[in-house]
Structure formats: C-alpha cells, structure tokens
Amino acid sequence: MKRRLHIGLVSTAVTTLLCLLAASVSAQSVSRVGFTVKDEADNPLPDVKISATHPHTGLVIEGTTNKKGKTTLVFRDSSLAYALSLSLEGYDPASTSLKPTVGAVSYQTYTLYKTNTRKSVPSGEGGTREIPLTPAQETFNEGVTALKAEDLATAKASFLKAYEMDPELYQAHSALAAIYLDEKDFQNAKASAEFVIAKEPGNGRAYRMLYEALSGLGDQEAADEVFEKISQLESSADAVPLIYNEGAEAMRMGDLERARERLEKAYSLDPELNQAVRLLALVYLDSQEFQKAAEFAEKVIAVDPEDLTMKKVRLDAYRGLGDTAKADEAFQAVADADPTAMISGLFKGGQEQFNGGDMDSAVSSFKQILDIDPDHGMTHYLLGLCYVNMGKNADAKSHFERFIALMPDHENAATAKEMMSFL
C-alpha cells in the first residue's frame, strides 16, 4: 500500500534540466503539422474537419480549424505518408497525401472552394465545364507527383521544364528552391527563392527558403535581414518553424538565454506549438521560475498525459514553489508512471547526500523510495546507516532488521547484524 509523504526539495533545477534534456531527445521523433485553411477569397475558414489516416494501421488523427482557420495535428508515427482529407459543409471536400517531417514542426495551407464554383465557367449547354490545365501546369503537376514519391530527379526536371514552358509559372521555382536546399545547392536555392518573392512579396515559405539558402552560403548578415522580414509578415506562422528550430538548436548547444528568447517568440506566434511549450518549461525550471515552469509543464501534460519528462519538471517546480500538496501529487504521478527510474534516481541522490554528510536530505530521499516500494532492501540498509550517524539507534535497528529479512544473503547482511549488536 502506498502512503503519502511530505516531500522536500531535493534536486536542483539545473541538474534536473540536464537530465531532462537527455530524456527529451526521443520526444523529437514526434511530428507536428500546423494547418491553415482558407476560402477562394483568402479568408480563413473555421470549423473545417481535417482527418489524417494512417494507411497501414487505420489510425485516424483529427482536428478542427479555429476561427483563424488554423489547427495542429500531432503525429507520433512519421514513418509513412498519411491520407489527408478536409471537409466543411457547403464546400467541395479536398484530399491529398501528407508526409510529416520526422521530429519537426511544419505548416500546410489549403484552399477550399464552395460547391460547384471551383474552376468552372458556364458552358453553352447551361451546365459547367472544367477549365483545362495548360501543358505547363500538367508538367508542373507531374513534378508534384514525383516529389511526393521522393523522386527528386524527375521532380526537378519537371519543374524546370514547366518554367521553360511558362515563365509566369513562378510556383515551379518555389518547388525548385526546396529541392535545391535538399541538395545543398544554396546558390540556386537563393535564386529560386528570390524569384518567387519578386512575384509574391508576401510568400513566407519563400522567405524561409531564402533564409536557409543564405545561411548555407554563410551570409549571416543577409540571413538576419531576411529573418526580420519573416517575423514581420502578416502570415506570422511562416516564421514559427524557423524561430522554434533556432531556439531548440540554441538549447541543444547550451545557450539558454537565446533559447528562451527564440522559444518565447515562437510561442507568442503560435500558443498551440506544444514543442515550444515543452522546452520553455525546461528553461523556466533552470532559471528557477517555478510558477512558469509548473504552468508550462501542466500545459504539455494536458495535451500529452504520458509525458514523463514534463511530469518530472512539474514535480520539481512545485517543490521549488513550496507547494507540498501539489508536489505530493506530482511525485505520485511520476512514481506511478516510471517507478523503476524514480527509485534509481532517488537512490543515487540519497547515496550522494549520505556520502556528503547530509543525513537529513539522504533520509528524505530514501523515505521517498520506500513510499514507492516499501520492500526496497538496500534502502532499508542505507536508512539504518543514516540513523546510526544521527544517533537514532532504535530507528537504525528497525531498518537493519527489515534489510536482513528482505536480503538475508546479501554481503552487507553480516555487517548489519554486527552493527545491531552495538545498538
């Protein structure tokens, strides 16, 4: 039977942060895709149902756009493409395939057309007819198909040919810029991105690709100017992946000041970006801003109740705040989620505290272990040693007896018996 304990602040925020940074690497395999849906007049469409279906497992991931026409889907398996569908009453449904980028944040924008209005003109017979694609558009679509199949060589050739056939088809350069970046051909990526921006000055995606191209060329001054432009665009979501990735990289490199600045910017632009919220919880814990750390950890846990790292952050945050009731609940949540790891961490910490002569803290750590597993034999042995050092002979004897009963053949059992003879 588990019992509740008063839990004291044992670990430091900095130590916890370093441990959790290592633990958070696996979470980067989770992909998030932000969706923006508009109508043909470029107005945001709320209440659009978006469904992504995994082709092999049949798993369906769903979301509904908010009043700004936005929603975010979280993909835990990014190994395959998903069948994507968008639907809203009064509009033609749309469907396509989607391949999330493993461990990254990406954004997609779609347009829905009112029923019976998309690309149609009156015919002589009173019905409707589809406007035929031009040869350049058909070639462009062949490139899109090849790109989805990850056949970059065919896609590249198709986009180049489409542009040669129709120099006004600047979208071909948008696709080419992405391919050039993948090939690390930064000079051509820069040229293609600049071509798109000249045709469409508000194209956030083109600015992002231009930023990456300039960074690849080592022209950081020009890249920084482009970055400021991205941040100023009305379509601020275009800046979010770039800002978030810079913050995550700064955090990986140990530059927590820059990480905080970038991550807070990304969060201000997209409060639903759970990855930014998650990393900010770690940053706030490191700076001992326990209230913020607790709030942001709670936000992540509300979305992903199984996030053990955030449960640990929440625990240390409530400890730092001195909120023993919430810390007690947070401790129990961590213990329930991963008792083995919790015991291992507490045991190691207790040993270090014992060896450092801090008996009170060591006793607190060891008691927390017994709160999870009352029959943890070595903990009883070390508690016995702690109480011997503290002059609490009766308590020492009680724990030595329990240790011997649980681990009679352990090499320290004889030592425990000998010490009991002097108590």
- The reply to whether 348 and 377 lie within a common domain is yes
Indicate the average pLDDT of the chain: 81
- As a whole number, mean pLDDT of residues 63-91 equals 84
The separation between CA 406 and the C-alpha centre of its own chain, rounded to angstroms, equals 43
Please give the pLDDT value at position 104: 60
Is the residue at 374 inside a domain? yes
SS3 332: helix
* Distance separating alpha carbons of residues 251 and 18, to the nearest angstrom: 11
Residue 234 reports pLDDT greater than 60: no
Is the residue at 96 inside a domain? no
**Domain CATH for 255:** 1.25.40.10
Is the residue at 311 inside a domain? yes
Domain span holding position 369? 340-420
Residue 63 reports pLDDT greater than 60: yes
Please give the pLDDT value at position 80: 67
Distances (CA, A) of 154 to 147, 168, 176, 239: 8, 21, 12, 30
Share of the chain above pLDDT 90, in %: 34
Top mean-pLDDT range of 237-246, 340-349, 392-401 = 392-401
Find the range with the poorest average confidence among 72-86, 248-262, 336-350.
Answer: 72-86
- The reply to whether 320 and 376 lie within a common domain is no
- The reply to whether 327 and 312 lie within a common domain is yes
The separation between CA 200 and the C-alpha centre of its own chain, rounded to angstroms, equals 31
Tally of residues, the chain? 423
Higher pLDDT, 269 or 197: 197
- As a whole number, mean pLDDT of residues 126-145 equals 66
Higher pLDDT, 328 or 241: 328
Is the residue at 197 inside a domain? no
Residue 106 reports pLDDT greater than 60: yes
Strands (E) located in 118-191: 120-122, 128-130
The pTM is what? 0.48
